Structures are given as structure tokens and as C-alpha cells.
Amino acid sequence: MVNDQKIVKEKGNKIGLPYTCRFSFYGLGIEVNCQDEETLRDIKRDYSFFLNDRVLVHTSFQILNEAPDYTKFSSLKAYLYTSQNICYRDKDLTFVDYFGRGLAVIDQHNNAFKVFCQEPHLRHEIVYLYILALVGKNLGLRNLHRVHGLGLEVNGKAILILLPSGGGKTTLLLELIKNESIKMISEDSPLIDAAGRVLPFPIRIGVLPEEKPKDIPDEYLHLVERMGFRPKYMIDIDALKDKISKKPLPVQYIFCGVRCLSDKTSIKPISRYSAFKQLVENCVFGVGLYEGAEFLIQRGFWGFVKKSPVLFSRLNNSFKAVSQSKTYSFSIGYDRKNNVDTFLNFLRENIKQRSKLDIL
């Protein structure tokens, strides 16, 4: 949990770096200070929905376009190895080494992050992922939990479509929001609160180069090289700012999506229990969500025990969301137009106040 006694109350950049901005993630204040303008520009693109220069700062990031000085840490022993980095620890400090290409230093006592990296794409990706993991962790401690799925608003109600990574959430979203009655809550990870309501969490949207959308101006698209994955074009949230939902909403429908090798698309009722099991997978255990910073804070059996209240909170929020919803399976084939048309036809036939739903 954020230590409110360590909130930075002063306004302005006290670290001395020339480029700075602040974000407010539902009250969690994060300040990013950069040595170069490019990194700050990219981070602001990623999280533009949450920009707020007046928020009190809980956690600060210092981003340096410099090579790490490994001689200062030569006596440290690694405690965790991943495919992307190696982690070291020294009292309150955690050091995450990206195989000599970059180094992140996390000061848990003072809620401060410092990143050393001379590669622009890697520097940006490190900061983006740490902010995402930090936000997920801190909001989770306040009973706001991310769920891996597509969130939409229709007629003042939320719709969740649960699909794995690569399942087609982005394609569905970009087609569906062309309808003036449909808004985006989040393309990948909407939030669920203790009442089972869905809250907006719109962040950057990625598409593969071969699927670069033609109807979005190039000024809102930029190519990002990602650690361990193919490059993607990122769509700035500002390109869709008029199509973003901005308030908590009760859930009306939960769709459990599955891909199939067919040109047919179908939507069929399923039990709430079946939907709850999939929501547990996508929220409680966070399959498909980036939770990378958690291993910096907790590990092993006692780490799991400390985390158990959060797991119970995720279970509670998931149960509340399912209990107020109608639940369906959504079989998605390779015919994208048919997928979209089937979904829109379902809305046309099932959502009340049809006169307010202008479905083409």
C-alpha cells in the first residue's frame, strides 16, 4: 500500500531532470522525470488518460539516458532469473539488470524508481511496464482489480468480453467503436471494484504491423519494439478520446470468448458458474496481465500468504460482477466481419432501449 507519510507535497520537479509529468491512477500519484524528451513523450502517449499535473506524488521515476555503472553493485548475488532480466537485492534496494542493456533500481522504502538505459525503445518499455505493474499492485490493495478482457459501454452498462492474448480483442474493439452508441472502457484490462462495477482503464492499444489501421491518422501511431515480443504499432488513446467511457458502470453482460477455426460465429447462454471460472482465471490469477513488479516485493510461501487478502478481494469482485450479469459464450471465427456483425446483432436483439442504440 502506498505510504501516505511519504507523499511528496511540493509541486514541480525536484530531481533536476528537464522533462517531467504526473499521472493520477484513481488517486495513486506517479511522477516521471526524464533526461530526454522522447521517453517522456512516449510515456505520456501510453497513459494520457491519467495525466494530472496537480496530483500529489506517491511514487517517482527518474529515467536516465546513461549506461549503468555496474562496478557499484559487483558484490551482489542474483536471487531471481527471468527470460528478460536478472534481479538482485541489497537491503531496501532491488536491482533489475536487463543483461547489460539497462538497469532499474527500485527503492521500496522511498517509493522511488531509477532507470539507466541508453536504448530508447528498451528505456521506454521498462518504464511503461513498471508503471503498469505498480498501478496494478497498488490499486489491488484498494480493492480495484484489473481483469484481462475487453470492456465496452453500451447504454450506460458495461460489457466484458474475456479473451486470451491474441484472441482478437483489439480487432473487435476497433470495429465496434465505429458505432456511435458503443464506447471503450479498456481494450485489455478494465477494473472491477468491490461492488462489481467496471471502471475505465484505457491505455495504449497495440496492433501488429500488418494490421496497422488505415482509418487512424499516422500522428496517433508509433512503432514500439517490445521485450521478448514482436514490434507493434501503438495507438494513442488520444485518437479515441471521444469514444472512452469515463465512469464506473454496472455489468450487464459477460462473454467468455474462444477462438475457433471456422468462418462461423455464435453466441450462446452459459451458466454464471462457467463464466465465474473464466473470470477467476482472468482476474484472480491475472492470466494475461502484466504483474511483473510483484516479484520485487513478495516471493515464496510468505509472499503468497501476504497476498491472500488481495486474492480474496479479487474473488469477491469477480463474484459480484458475475452475479449481476447475463453470461454467454462467444465463439469467434476467422471471418472478422461476421464476428462483429454477430455481436452487433446480439446487442440489437437483447439490449433494452433499442431506440438509443444506433446499430448499422
In this predicted model, what pLDDT tens digit does every residue of 225-273 receive, in sequence order?
887 788 999 999 999 988 999 999 999 999 999 888 888 899 999 999 9
Report the sign of the C-alpha dihedral through residues 275, 237, 199, 185, in that order: negative
Cα separation, 64 vs 123, whole angstroms: 9
- Specify the pairing of strand 251-259 against strand 266-269: unpaired
Cα separation, 186 vs 135, whole angstroms: 15
Q: Determine whether 68 is exposed, middle or buried from the number of CB atoms within 10 Å of its CB (0-12, 13-18, 19+).
A: buried
Stated pTM of the model: 0.87
Cβ contact 236:220 at 8 Å = yes
**pLDDT more than 70, % of the chain:** 86
> Which one, of 7, 4, 32, lies nearest residue 18 by Cα?
32
Cα separation, 96 vs 86, whole angstroms: 6
Any bridge partners for residue 115, and if so which? 63, 104
> How many residues make up the chain in this entry?
360
pLDDT band at 350 (very low <50, low <70, confident <90, very high): confident
- Mean pLDDT value across the chain: 86
| pLDDT tens, residue by residue, 65-122 | 999 988 877 788 898 888 889 999 888 899 999 999 999 999 988 999 999 999 999 9
Cα separation, 240 vs 185, whole angstroms: 11
